[in-house]
Structure 1
Amino acid sequence: MEYVRLGKSGLKVSRISLGCWNFGSPTPRWGKPGKVTPEDSTRIIQAAVDKGINLLDTANRYTGGEAEEILGRAVRGMRDKVIIATKVHGEVGSGPNDKGQSRQHIMREVESSLKRLGTDYIDLYQAHGVDWETPLEESLRAYDDLIRQGKVRYIGCSNFPAWVLTKALWVSDVNKLASFVSVQPNYSLVNRTVEKELQPLCVDQGIGMILYSPIGGGILTGKYENAVPEGSRGYDEPGVAEKARKAQAAVAQLKAIANELGKTPAQISLNWIIHRPAVSSAIMGVSRLEQLEDNVGAVGWKLSDEHARQLDEAFAEW
C-alpha cells in the first residue's frame, strides 16, 4: 500500500480507502438501505486493514447509524492502526434540529457517533454538505472546540463547491479557527467537473481530495457493456445506467488499455485518478472480498504518461 499526506496536514492516509456507506440493514431508520450484512462487512473491513488500507470512511447517516456501529466493532483492538472518517449534516430524525451544522446538531451528533464507533476520538470529522441556514463561523467554532476537546483530530468537508470551501478557509483564517484539511467530491473519469474550480483550489491551498465514486458507480468496471446487471448501482439508479450508455466508446478505450497492461478496467481507472493533482485517496465501495482484491491492485504502480493521455482524451467530454 502507498501512503500520502492528507493535503498539507501531517496525517498520512492510504491511496485507496474503504467506504462503509452500504454496510448494514436494508431497512434503516434513515439514510440509504444497506447491501452488505454486518458479518460480511466486518470481514471486508478487517481484510482491508490487513492489506494496508488505513482510511475508513463512514457517516452518522449511513444505514441509520448501523454503519458506524459495524465499523467500530470491526476495528476493536486495532484502533491505533486506522483513520476513522465520519460525517455530520444529513437528516437523522424528524425534529427541527435533527440535521444541518448548527452548534446544537454538531455537538449532539459527535457524541452519538463516538458512542456508535466505540471510540473516544474521531480522526477526520467531515461536514457532509453545505448548511445554507447556519453561518459558517458557528459551524467552524463548533468543530474547533471539538478539536480542542480531543474528540476530533482533523476536520474536512464533503460536497462543498469551490467558492464555499474558499469562504470556509477564509473564516477559519481570520478567526484563528481549525480549518478543513480535506474535501470529499465525486470525481472519476466520467465525472470531471471538479477539475474546473475545486481541484485548482485544492492544489493552491493544500487541501487533500478524498474521492467518492472513483469508478463512476461501476461504469468504469465495464460491467454495463451489454446490459444493466440486477442489483448494480445502475439497476437502482437509472441515471447511472444512462451515463454508462453514453460512455461506451470511452470505456472501450479504457478496456483496451487494461487488456494491454494485464490489468482490470477498475484498476486502470483507479490508478489514473489517485495520481491526479491534489488527490490523497480514493474511496472504494465494495460488497464482496473479490472487489477489494481487485481495487487494491490499483496501487503500487503508475500508468505511463501516454496511457494517461489516452484516457484523458477518451473521457475529455466528462
Structure 2
Amino acid sequence: MEYVRLGKSGLKVSRISLGCWNFGSPNPPWGKAGKVTPEDSIQIIHAAIDMGINLIDNANRYTGGEAEEILGKAIKGKRDEVIVATKVHGEVGPGPNDKGQSRAHIMKEVENSLRRLGTDYIDLYQAHNVDWDTPLEESLRAYDDLIRQGKVRYIGCSNFPAWVLAKSLWVSDVNKLASFVSVQPNYSLTNRAVEKELQPLCVDQGIGMILYSPMGGGILSGKYEGSVPEGSRGADEPAVAEKAQRFQNGVNQLKDIAEQLDKTPAQVSLNWIINRPAVSSAIMGVSRLEQLQENVGAVDWKLSEEHMKLLSDAFPA
C-alpha cells in the first residue's frame, strides 16, 4: 500500500480508503439503504486493514448511524491502526436542529458519533455539505473547540464549492481557528468538473482531496457494457445506466489499456485518479472482498504519461 500526506497536514493516509455508506440495515430511519450485513461489513473492514488501508470513511447519517456502530465494533482492539473519518450535516431526526452545521448540531452529533464508534476521538471530522443558513465562523469555531478538547484531531469538508472552501480557509486564518485539511469531492474519469476550480485551489492551498465515486458509480469497471447487471447501482439509479452508455467509447479505451497492462479497468481508472494533482486518497464502497482485493491492485505502480493522456482524451473534462 502507498501512503501520502493528507494535503499539507502531517497525517499519512492510504491511497485507497474504505467507505462505509452501504454497511448495515436495508431499512434505516435515515440515509440510504444498506447493502452489506454487519457481519460481512466487519469482515471487509478487517480485510481492508490487513491490506494496509488505514483511512475508513463514514458519516453520522449512513444507514441511520448503524454504519458507525459497525465500524466501532470492527476496530475494537485495532483503533491505533485506523484513521477514522466521519461526517456531520445531513438530517438525523425530525427537529429543526437535527441537521446542518450549527454549533448546536455539531456539538450534539460529535458525541453521538463518538458513542457509536466506541472511541474518544475522531481522526478526521468533516462537514458533509455547506449549510447556507449558518455562518462559517460559527461552524469553524465549533470544530476548533472540538480539536482543543481532544475529541477531533483534524477537520475536513465534503461537497464544498471552491469559493466556499476558499472563504472557509480565510475565515480560519483571520480568526486563528483550525482549518480544513481536506475536501471530499465527486471526482472520476466520468466526472472531472473539479478540475476547473476546486483542484487548482487544493494544489495552491495544500488541501488534500479524498475522492468519492472514483469509479463513476461502477461505470469504469466496464460492467455496463451491453446490459445493466442486476443488483448494480445502475439498476437502482437509471441515470447511472444512461451515463454508462454516453461514456462507452471512453470505457472501450480504458479496457484496451487495461488489457495491455494485464490490469482490470477498475485498477487502471483508479490509478489514473489517485495520481492526479492534490489527490490523497480514493474512497471505495465495496460489498464483497473480491472487489476490495481488486481495488488495492490499483496502487504500487503508475500509468505512463502516454496512457494518462489517452485516458484524459477519452474522457474529456
TM-score (normalised: structure 2): 1.00
Determine the structure 1 residue equivalent to 2:104: 104
How many residues are treated as equivalent by the alignment? 317
Question: Are positions 1:135 and 2:109 aligned together?
Answer: no
Q: Distance in 2 between matches of 1:238 and 1:134?
A: 34
Question: Are positions 1:173 and 2:201 aligned together?
Answer: no
- 1:1-318 → structure 2 map (5 Å cutoff): 1-316=1-316, 318=317
Q: Distance in 2 between matches of 1:52 and 1:190?
A: 27
Q: Distance in 1 between matches of 2:243 and 2:197?
A: 23
**What SS class does the counterpart of residue 219 from structure 2 fall into?**
helix
Q: Distance in 2 between matches of 1:152 and 1:18?
A: 20
Question: Which runs of 5 or more residues in structure 2 are unaligned?
Answer: none
Q: Distance in 2 between matches of 1:230 and 1:100?
A: 35
Q: Deviations over 1:171-206 (max 9, x none)?
A: 000000000000000000000000000000000000
Measured after TM superposition, the shift of residue 74 of structure 1 is: 0.3
Q: Distance in 2 between matches of 1:75 and 1:46?
A: 8
Q: Distance in 1 between matches of 2:93 and 2:268?
A: 41
Matched AA of 1:63: T
Q: Distance in 2 between matches of 1:308 and 1:96?
A: 47
Q: Distance in 1 between matches of 2:309 and 2:28?
A: 43
Which aligned segments of 4 or more residues in structure 1 are displaced greater than 2 angstroms?
Answer: none
Q: Distance in 2 between matches of 1:117 and 1:9?
A: 24
Q: Distance in 2 between matches of 1:272 and 1:181?
A: 23
Q: Distance in 1 between matches of 2:158 and 2:149?
A: 23
Measured after TM superposition, the shift of residue 231 of structure 1 is: 1.1
Q: Distance in 2 between matches of 1:231 and 1:139?
A: 39
**What SS class does the counterpart of residue 178 from structure 2 fall into?**
coil
Backbone CA RMSD of aligned residues: 0.4
Measured after TM superposition, the shift of residue 236 of structure 1 is: 0.8
Q: Distance in 2 between matches of 1:245 and 1:314?
A: 14
Measured after TM superposition, the shift of residue 238 of structure 1 is: 1.1
Measured after TM superposition, the shift of residue 247 of structure 1 is: 0.3
Q: Deviations over 1:86-119 (max 9, x none)?
A: 0000000010000001000000000000000000
**What SS class does the counterpart of residue 56 from structure 1 fall into?**
strand
Q: Deviations over 1:55-106 (max 9, x none)?
A: 0000000000000000010011010010000000000001000000100000
Measured after TM superposition, the shift of residue 230 of structure 1 is: 1.4
Q: Distance in 2 between matches of 1:239 and 1:158?
A: 22
**What SS class does the counterpart of residue 49 from structure 1 fall into?**
helix
Matched AA of 2:271: N
**What SS class does the counterpart of residue 217 from structure 1 fall into?**
coil
